[in-house]
Amino acid sequence: MSDPNQTDAPINLSHVNERGEARMVDVSSTPVSVREAVASAGVTARPAVLDALLAGTLPKGEAVATARLAGIQAAKRTGGLIPLCHPLPIDFVDVDVDRVAPDRLAVRCTARTTARTGVEMEAMTGAAVAALTLYDMAKAADKGIVLGPIQLEEKSGGKSGTFRRA
């Protein structure tokens, strides 16, 4: 599903060279600035399963704390997981899990750095891995859990400025 905030302007793919080959973007001349991104991932399951997950009474134990740590760890390791991402000095990562409906959780990951490139991928990786961890912790109770969407909610800093999902 495409984002309604996007325009029909020509697409410039920064990770592709003139021959169409994947490449890492050279950010050496980009000024260092504070950059922040927030991403989210949904977790949908039976209400009783979410009750147990949030209460920490599932067989694997305290799911939310485990997911929070997994999301933080994943955000810090994004440069080693996504081939063309720059390894970034992460200044801050936070993961929140909130119930937004009887059958739905929202996982939000906020990442911040002072660097030459943004932290959107770190925030999205943190949210995705936290959601996957919640699935892993609860799958014995409900294999029908659905994850997604995983999406960027907002970002600030850098040449492209601020983005906020409508």
**In the prediction, which pLDDT does 9 show?**
64
Is the torsion defined by CA of 119, 72, 108, 151 positive or negative?
A: positive
Asked if residue 66 lies in contact with residue 129, where contact means CB atoms within 8 angstroms, the answer is: no
pTM (two decimals)? 0.89
- HSE-up (13 A, CA, CB side) for residue 110: 6
**In the prediction, which pLDDT does 102 show?**
98
Tokens of 35: 């950059």
**In the prediction, which pLDDT does 2 show?**
52
Q: How far is CA 144 from the centre of its chain?
A: 22
Q: In a structure prediction context, what are the per-residue pLDDT tens digits for the chain, which is 166 residues long?
A: 455 555 666 667 676 777 878 778 889 889 999 999 999 999 999 999 999 999 999 999 999 999 999 999 999 999 999 999 999 999 999 999 999 999 999 999 999 999 999 999 999 999 999 999 999 999 999 999 999 999 999 999 988 899 999 9
Please identify every residue annotated as catalytic. Answer: 136
Q: How far is CA 147 from the centre of its chain?
A: 12
**Per CATH, domain 33-164 is 3.30.70.640:** yes
**In the prediction, which pLDDT does 40 show?**
98
